[in-house]
Structure 1
């Protein structure tokens, strides 16, 4: 379910399937009907389990500080369909999206796509019309058979690999890596984080088959120094005094990937690189819902799988040593709920479980029953009332981006 997508589908009489159907045939046929807007876009393509959004956001801010027009396609949405397609960092406007749906209606796309495929076509049309200098595209799921994998990227980036979507991608790291490595293209650079050994072997073989230069964090480029004053190091290139706005050690590698990707992109298109523009971009990059600070004692983070929960817990240990941590949790039932809860319970001194307004949601009572915490409750109260009752604790809302999306505006503007 993509909020507000149905409004445009109904307004322009375009039906699409809400099911997930990996494969490229339908998207290729749809793009043929609209004139292949994906061709010749200056793309950086991102796949992976966690870190895609943060890495993309840092690349975006670096590019904007080089006076480049940026466009991005991310998923899932934080608020509604508009924020999945961004032009110069701003959600696409209703008027612009309506114009694109008009094109798709006139191109006879009715009934030919899934929801995500339809939105992917809309994104490509938006980017073609906008004439972006750099297009940042995040895979929806997997990579090889994801509908975004019809582009010829200048650079591909994979920050991490962990078990996820096992019903579609397989239940081993090697199987999942096989899907993610599908975004590697002939002769185009692929940049990865420090992947597990089984996954890295898959990427090395795929890169070899595609004759694609492979750059690995910790091997071909790295970051040293203390947080707030880090140094990026690569052969023939070094940037000092990097002050990340995104906290947590996991963001160190994401930052390194973002800088490396931009350097490769700039080299390909003969763009002059300015170290101060990179420094400024890194210091101002913020991503909604990724350890986002709402107030001095309130944070939101979309930790929806064990790998992202581990990242959240590690960040909590870094930032809030010795403090009480209360988690407000809502999750979807098709996630590894037990795995996420066991990790959060390492630092959580208390839990409040809430319902998520989504057809795939797990009832709060079920979350309560799965929790091993000694301090836990189910609440139907307004979010502000829940938070006010925890005034001596750090409160972190987590578990589902849909939960964050439903409450974020109220928390920021209330």
Structure 2
């Protein structure tokens, strides 16, 4: 266990090695129980009740939505906390205030301070990081914090806050072994973040699960808004109640963000109703400058020109469908696809979506959950996807670059962990 003068690297290594971590270990780290989080919050004096918050759940888009909300709130002049997961490069990415990552010394001090409760209850990696974010935001006296759910919602460690508004993005099939094997079951878990007498927004109306949200909200006397019924985003701007409302250059955004932004706008509208002052200028500036304001990474992020190279962390069926559509909207010569995936999911539906006219470079991240590159290559071949297995992510990218012409497109993705290992991210 690190002492008070332990280095940041030793502290983070302790968290990684001593505590189960879902991103790395999978099922063994997932706890369908809030007991540990509640105990940690009690030990810390309930920091989760000491700041205002927005709670964001969903299958796809919850990370982007959280970053957009934080960027807009920052531009409106609020001291804004942002908690997201998983991190891509550094542990400190998970906890930010106005785009600045938590100080390394604060991480060291926090872990040292809660040593007694860690040894007593053996919490998971995620439970510790959630408690850390609550404690940090309370101590730093943020005006508002945007809190992204880790997985699900109902039993996620973040689900001990009482937010100003809850927001649920797109729901699709993902993490079925933990959340349920139907879209209705998954939606019920996500709907678990809805709180009594607090407004809730669903970004995108999906007919097959509309009743899940309606019944949950009605049972809790929570005002429910389906944002896509009120806002429509195009490359020319935003329409509110079918009237042109905001002018912005949507062509600079990946088209899948058009599905996320209605929820963002609806949440901002509710925040204004609840006493915040967020102007249209702040909304536009937040959207246009989100990468700089919150250090958003891995969402259709451009890494180079000539050849164009993009990465994206979308990894399930719906997420990859958006990516394939985005690729199809670009003019390029040949497509080079660097692909790595995890070994605890059925990947057949994702593979069935991928273009078979691309050159593939199959790789694997350096985590136990990574699917072996050779195995991925074999599975992909069954779907008419052919290429080379190159285990190391960056070696696979370098091979794609060496084969690509200046007018070609290189895409890197399939897993958060593939994107996380990119040298030039």
TM-score for both structures, normalised by structure 1: 0.90
Q: Deviations over 1:368-407 (max 9, x none)?
A: 1011235411124623243222235200001111111111
Q: Is the 8 A contact 1:34 1:103 kept in 2?
A: no
Q: What RMSD over aligned residues (CA atoms) do the two structures have, in Å?
A: 2.4
Q: In structure 1, the residue corresponding to 2:81 is in which secondary structure? A: strand
Counterpart selection for 2:408 from 376, 389, 393: 393
TM-score for both structures, normalised by structure 2: 0.88
**Are 2:29 and 1:16 equivalent residues in the alignment?**
no
In 1, the alpha carbon distance for the partners of 2:126 and 2:252 equals 29
Q: Is the 8 A contact 1:243 1:282 kept in 2?
A: no
Q: Is the 8 A contact 1:34 1:107 kept in 2?
A: no
Q: Which residue is 1:43 aligned to? A: 53
In 1, the alpha carbon distance for the partners of 2:79 and 2:128 equals 24
Matches for 1:70-219 after TM superposition, within 5 Å: 70-105=80-115, 110-219=120-229
In 1, the alpha carbon distance for the partners of 2:164 and 2:51 equals 9
Against the structure 1 CA distance between its residues 231 and 9, is the aligned structure 2 distance closer, same or farther, given a 3 Å change threshold?
closer
C-alpha displacement of 1:17: 3.4
Q: Which residue is 1:233 aligned to? A: 240
C-alpha displacement of 1:282: 1.1
Q: Which residue is 1:411 aligned to? A: 424
Out of 24-33 and 374-383, give the one that drifted further: 374-383
In 2, the alpha carbon distance for the partners of 1:363 and 1:22 equals 28
In 1, the alpha carbon distance for the partners of 2:370 and 2:8 equals 19
In 2, the alpha carbon distance for the partners of 1:150 and 1:233 equals 33
Q: In structure 1, the residue corresponding to 2:46 is in which secondary structure? A: coil
Count of residues in Structure 1 that have an aligned counterpart in Structure 2? 400
Matches for 1:328-407 after TM superposition, within 5 Å: 328-345=338-355, 348-371=357-380, 372-373=383-384, 375-380=386-391, 382=395, 383-391=397-405, 392-407=407-422
Counterpart selection for 1:281 from 286, 289, 297: 286
Q: In structure 2, the residue corresponding to 1:331 is in which secondary structure? A: coil
Against the structure 1 CA distance between its residues 109 and 188, is the aligned structure 2 distance closer, same or farther, given a 3 Å change threshold?
farther
Q: Which residue is 2:3 aligned to? A: none
Q: Deviations over 1:64-94 (max 9, x none)?
A: 1111111111111111311111111122121
Q: Gaps spanning 5+ residues in structure 1: where?
A: none
Q: Is the 8 A contact 1:82 1:92 kept in 2?
A: yes
Q: Is the 8 A contact 2:166 2:194 kept in 1?
A: yes
Q: Is the 8 A contact 1:5 1:81 kept in 2?
A: no
Against the structure 1 CA distance between its residues 147 and 322, is the aligned structure 2 distance closer, same or farther, given a 3 Å change threshold?
same
Q: In structure 2, the residue corresponding to 1:356 is in which secondary structure? A: coil
C-alpha displacement of 1:11: 6.1
Q: Gaps spanning 5+ residues in structure 2: where?
A: 1-6, 22-28
In 1, the alpha carbon distance for the partners of 2:259 and 2:38 equals 34
Against the structure 1 CA distance between its residues 204 and 374, is the aligned structure 2 distance closer, same or farther, given a 3 Å change threshold?
closer
In 2, the alpha carbon distance for the partners of 1:109 and 1:406 equals 32
Counterpart selection for 1:305 from 311, 316, 333: 316
In 1, the alpha carbon distance for the partners of 2:105 and 2:213 equals 41
